[in-house]
Chain A
Amino acid sequence: MSLPAFAELLERLVFTPGRNAKLALLQHWFATQPDPDRGIGLAAITEALRFTAKPAMIRDLVMTRTDPELWRLSYDYVGDLAETVALIWQPRAGVNAPPPTLAEIVAALAATPKAELPALIGGWLDTLDSSARLALIKLVTGGLRVGVSARLARVALAEWSGQPVEEIEEVWHGVAPPYDALFQWLDGRAPRPDPRDTPIFRPLMLAHPLEDADLAALRPQDWRAEWKWDGIRVQATAGPGGRRLFSRGGEDISAAFPEIIEAMDFHAVLDGELLVLRDGEVAPFADLQQRLNRKSVTAKMQRDYHIVVRLYDLLFDGHEDLRALPFDARRAALEAWLARVAPPRMDVSPLIPFDTIDALATLRDGARAASIEGLMLKRADSAYLAGRVKGLWWKWKRDPLTVDAVLMYAQRGHGKRSSFYSDYTFGVWREDGELVPIGKAYSGYTDEELTWLDRWIRNNTTNRFGPVREVERGIVFEVAFDAAQLSTRHKSGVALRFPRIARIRRDKPAEEADDLATVMALVENRAG
């Protein structure tokens, strides 16, 4: 029964917007499915397991059984090849075989020569209902796309098993589908799998935002300060078992940054920030974005966006685990290691000397480079602990920039907000008197404000485009954001980093909102 069960799981995941509901569905899967199918399902969902049958092969298969005109009309209507095949497939009469299990599918796909794949897949399709047919086709063509990250799957494993998610993250990259050893451990039938030399992810130490109350209690001599660089936090791990670059959430992003992997000719685990350098200076985040989420990368991309890792911490030197040492000791070890090994494309994030907290506050307020989000404060004696432990590391972001912008379009949210117009596109006035959009925000307001905005939007709609409503120019938002950058993707030519609604300016008429020139003056990467 396991492919139909898997199909039902996929269908629920595809249609379920809420994170908690997705977690509940995954936990139900882990709790009810036999091995190895639960592990194969997990691998398929997180795309750790991918098959690459061509969609055209599936289409050719269905065409041997379908009238071409009826196929054309159906495909026109449905729009998706895999779904059309799944729906239109007419099982041969008299087929009585049970549907395959995931394990049978994986084994047979591995053992079958390419030329015999159509017959194999056709035979399976005959045993399945339409939803299981769709699951099978998506599985063999490698396109499940159900909106579940490996990170979310690990959280579900943690909630289901009662093991801390950090522990699961530590072993995750040391286990492989169908994850027998992982499930044996989580079932309580075996000890935690030992990754040995496999390059695994160690959960990162994270910081809390610093509030004014916390600030007053800080004694300068107990703390170390660094810039908070605006890049991507990474963990670089290398040794005899291989080299990996992991994102903050434990995703393996090695393939997108081959030049870093090449530079990692050492045996250590490092914590740092992935940045783009331009003429020796850290470039704005938008540049780094060009390099993210790529499965491979061209030589030109590597030349145009020079990637480096600015190091924060040393977790392992060879086999030696430094995480229990105080920050100062690790820092000394990091500097010594860097002097000794000197890998290309890596430098250290400098410590910022300071005598008083006030002096630090002045430094923070003066930091206006696009590449700096603010300051990091780390306690001198802090061990390197997984997760967000309060009181050891603080992030102290500089005050946001603000602009008064006019609400232009509203769109419904997801999940709990699906009945509310909660996503707002706002704009500022251009010289010619036209309002041009500069960004989109869906946070920062209270529940009461959301209810009020929702009603206002419904009563002041001037136009509809599918789920989007255009509204009267009647609401001014004070929008807070961390930085403004030039952008070719927006009509206004500018993009905001982390925009959120700071206030609804009910006192301000739309004509008095800011103009584009005001926003442009805040842009940090203007030419010249």
Chain B
Amino acid sequence: MGMPPHPSTWLKVTPAGLFCEPGGFCIDPARAVDRAIITHGHSDHARPGHAHVLATRETLAIMTTRMGEGRAGETQQALPFGETLTINGVRVWLRPAGHVLGSAQVCMEWQGSRAVVSGDYKRQADPTAAPFEAEACDVFVTEATFALPVFRHPSPDGEIAKLLRSVALFPERTHVVGCYSLGKCQRLIAMLRQSGWDRPIHLHGAHVALCRVYESLGVPLGELRTATVAKKDDLKGAIVLAPPSAVADRWARRLAEPVTAVASGWMRVRQRARQGGVELPLVISDHADWDELLATCAEVQAPEIWVTHGREDALIHALSLRGVTGRALHLVGLGEEEEDPPAEDAAA
């Protein structure tokens, strides 16, 4: 028995993305491959056209809804949390990542050497996603979307309370909340329900399908209605969820004097919020903030941290102050679906 091989000898950055060489599979590949393991259903991680896809049952259902029957892997294999699979001698298991429904960290062990690819993750409570579980490892692969010490997400309950106070202050106006259709939308609905908001919640057409998938996977969301067919008067005092690109554009004209809110970690920085014409910024994020990133990197006890995408400079610098080696992977194509500032006039 020699030393276990360093993960960089068997987990490699290729043009398609992170590739586990002995296992013969890619994790969240940016192009169609033979064997893919998918961490979660956001489109920058889950792409169509792979021959074989391994993921949680929830992620497979989400992918199928978004891509269409047959496009989300010619063959699909569901791997529940807590079960282990051996692929060409590589032990593989999934751990909850807390990002969106079904989101998982991919844990791999090869000849006693262990790496964990966390995908996107957060540590805040989320009634729609199983909470993150830390797995000790030799290399931890992390995102860095909010890796600056200015990003410390406030309590999401406080942000929901802020929204409800605004609804009380402007009862004649529609509150339209810009949010991404997978994850944020359903989390907001579930948090509103927890706060006692039991009135119908109205949805932009683009949000309907995934809410139905969540419900079919056992996440109750209460009464939902389509805002597109509602009368203006019925939307007075209502809460409407829509894609960020729609809230300040033509689509929003159907609403009664809308208060434009956006729920995103970027709302922490005022200039970002003002650029989008946001009237009520809500700092609610599905990504780890600065403290969560550092705490998680410490918790997994990995001597080496690889950073997939985001603000890797600051994170790697902060890790170096703690005696941990950081490495920027510069993976392309990640961070493009959600948490990006909304593009003006993007199709809804």
Contact = CB atoms under 8 A, between A and B. Distances in A.
Contact of B148 (A73, A79, A467): A73
A12 B260 CA distance: 12
A418 B248 CA distance: 7
B294 to A, nearest CB: 11
**Chain A contact residues: over half helix, strand or loop, or mixed?**
helix
A412 B345 CA distance: 12
B253 interface: yes
Nearest to B259: A21
Interface stretch (B87-95, B133-141, B267-275): B267-275
Interface residues of A, number: 35
Interface stretch (A80-88, A205-213, A307-315, A517-525): A80-88
A12 B280 contact: yes
Given A21-B170, A73-B311, A130-B268, 5 more contacts: A15-B273, A15-B280, A24-B170, A70-B318, A78-B150
A2 interface: no
B156 interface: no
Contacts of A16: 279
> For the side of the interface on B, what is the size category?
35 or more
B21 interface: no
Given A17-B279, A129-B154, A419 B248 contact: yes
Nearest to B248: A418
Interface in B134-162: 148-152, 154, 162
Interface in B221-280: 248-250, 252-253, 257, 259-260, 268-271, 273-274, 277-280
Contacts of B170: 21, 24
A63 to B, nearest CB: 13
Contact of B321 (A25, A67, A83): A67
A164 to B, nearest CB: 25
Query: 7 tightest CB-CB pairs across the interface, nearest first?
Result: A87-B150, A74-B150, A73-B314, A88-B149, A15-B279, A74-B148, A88-B150
Interface string B13-54: 000000000000000000000000000000000000000000
Interface string A85-103: 0011010000000000000
A15 B269 contact: no
B171 to A, nearest CB: 11
Contacts of A12: 166, 280
A69 B149 CA distance: 11
Nearest to B166: A12
Given A78-B271, A80-B270, A419 B150 contact: no
Interface in B102-124: none
B199 interface: no
A66 B345 CA distance: 39
B281 interface: yes
Interface of A: 8, 11-12, 14-17, 21, 24-25, 28, 66-67, 69-70, 73-74, 77-80, 83-84, 87-88, 90, 129-130, 412, 416, 418-419, 458, 464, 467
B151 to A, nearest CB: 8
A10 to B, nearest CB: 11
Contact of B169 (A15, A28, A416, A458): A28
Contact of B149 (A15, A74, A464): A74
A8 B162 contact: yes
A528 B224 CA distance: 72
Contacts of B345: 458
Given A15-B280, A17-B279, A80-B270, A419 B250 contact: yes
A419 B249 CA distance: 5
A278 B313 CA distance: 60
Given A28-B169, A419-B248, A130 B314 contact: no
B169 A25 contact: yes
Contacts of A11: 281
B152 A130 contact: yes
B150 A84 contact: yes
Contact of B271 (A79, A130, A467): A79
B317 interface: yes
Nearest to A134: B270
12 contacts: A15-B281, A28-B169, A66-B149, A70-B148, A70-B314, A73-B311, A77-B311, A78-B271, A80-B270, A87-B149, A416-B257, A458-B345
Contacts of B318: 67, 70
